[in-house]
Amino acid sequence: MALIKSISGIRGTIGGKAGEALTPVDVVKYAAAFGTWVLQTTQNNTIVIGRDARLSGEMVSKLVAATLQGLGINVIDLGLSTTPTVELAVPAKKAGGGIILTASHNPKQWNALKLLNDKGEFINDEEGKLVLEIGESENFEFEQVTKLGKYSTADYLKKHIKAITSLPLVDVEAIKAKNFRVVVDAVNSSGGIAVPMLLEALGVTQIEKLYCEPDGNFAHNPEPLPENLRDISRVLEKGKFDLGIVVDPDVDRLALICEDGSMFGEEYTLVAVADYIMKNKPGNTVSNLSSTRALRDVTEKAGGQYFASAVGEVNVVKMMKEQNAVIGGEGNGGIIYPELHYGRDALVGIALFLTHLAKANLSMTRLRASYPNYYISKNKIELTPEINVDEVLVQMQNRYKKQPVNTIDGVKIEFDKEWVHLRKSNTEPIIRIYAESDTNSTAEHLANKIIGDIKEIISEKA
């Protein structure tokens, strides 16, 4: 069992002892902490909540709503929704904050409270620490019976989709004219409702639904990585569809599959959408340190400037605002399009990508071949309590001090056009090791070399 308390929210497995997993006691404690923080900082007594379809979602949602009401906060419950939909609804409803009940790409035994400020954006490091402090001190006070908050429900998904189809760079007529044949894998979560609804609004009529029943019984590991997408790949291999669309449980990550069943590459979701945006609105781009160099290449070719942020959506958003980026996101398939809102949004990513594909008049494989080819080897090392991760990272920095090294988030080591990024995960007890090169074998060789170095350092300290 696990409970991870971080600035990005409270995440844990369901069941077990309070304080050691995400139990009802922990849900109430941190919902109360966040509600208290919202009241103290905004004097706004309205919070929007929404959830994905995971099995514990309804239970956790009821606990959160009742706790907030106990603080005198009015709750607007979007019910089964998506992360970007909640993000859009918070400012639209003039709320003081939002809580999304989702563990994103984690397996079904996990759930989490993801916390939004009054702009519908994830709270930052300083704000997250304050929420955790309130939670640890249990410094919250509940209201008298006559001052309990009100509970109401709302459906904001249609408004979200309308906002997307109204964007100047989303061309519904161009998409409709191509008569795309699309397969959708929504891992039996809320994307099973949202993605087909969006596609229909974009004029797509030939939609094959795969795992689109939002019952929380994830049909495969919900992280949209190639090894988890074999079923949709097999459907596309038969040659009857133009592309496949895959989203994670809360619909903030987008992976695409080519017409022959091959992977477009989750790193290239952002690259392709950015290419389309910059063809129409040149400007700067941002992704995190663990994302592909291809975005930099495409940006510079279009006359813009590329910037790399620390890993984490809040860090990408901060740099996007600082650099006035026209598009940004993360290499895990997360598209952030400021024209709509500052949050990863698979739905706006789908609409922009389909417009791009329609206007390029290319197949998925030919479009993918038009971009610089890089390969990222993504690896991880499980942590044990006795491992001092910070010390390991310092040792690695020293080992490669002759190479360009970036330490704003872990350690990123540059080797000409190759790189390796080592960092401690904010959401799981692991060290992530990402390596990129121009071939898969060299990227894996580089990653394995670094993993060997880390294991050597750990064994020396043992």
Residues with catalytic function: 104
3-state secondary structure the chain: CCEEEECCEEEEECCCCECCECCHHHHHHHHHHHHHHHHHHHCCCEEEEEECCCCCHHHHHHHHHHHHHHCCCEEEEEEECCHHHHHHHHHHCCCCEEEEECCCCCCCCEEEEEEECCCCCECCHHHHHHHHHHHHHCCCCCCCHHHCCCEEECCCHHHHHHHHHCCCCCCHHHHHHHCCEEEEECCCCCHHHHHHHHHHHCCCCEEEEECCCCCCCCCCCCCCCHHHCHHHHHHHHCCCCCEEEEECCCCCCEEEECCCCCECCHHHHHHHHHHHHHHHCCCEEEEECCCCCHHHHHHHHCCCCEEEECCCHHHHHHHHHHCCEEEEEECCCEEECCCCCCCECHHHHHHHHHHHHHHHCCCHHHHHHCCCCCEEEEEEEECCCCCCHHHHHHHHHHHCCCCCEECCCCEEEEECCEEEEEEECCCCCEEEEEEEECCHHHHHHHHHHHHHHHHHHHHHHC
Angle CA(49)–CA(424)–CA(225) in degrees, nearest 5? 65
What does the alpha-carbon distance between residue 337 and residue 349 come to, in Å, rounded to a whole number? Answer: 8
Query: Which tokens is 244 given?
Result: 């496949």
> Which amino acid type is present at position 35?
G
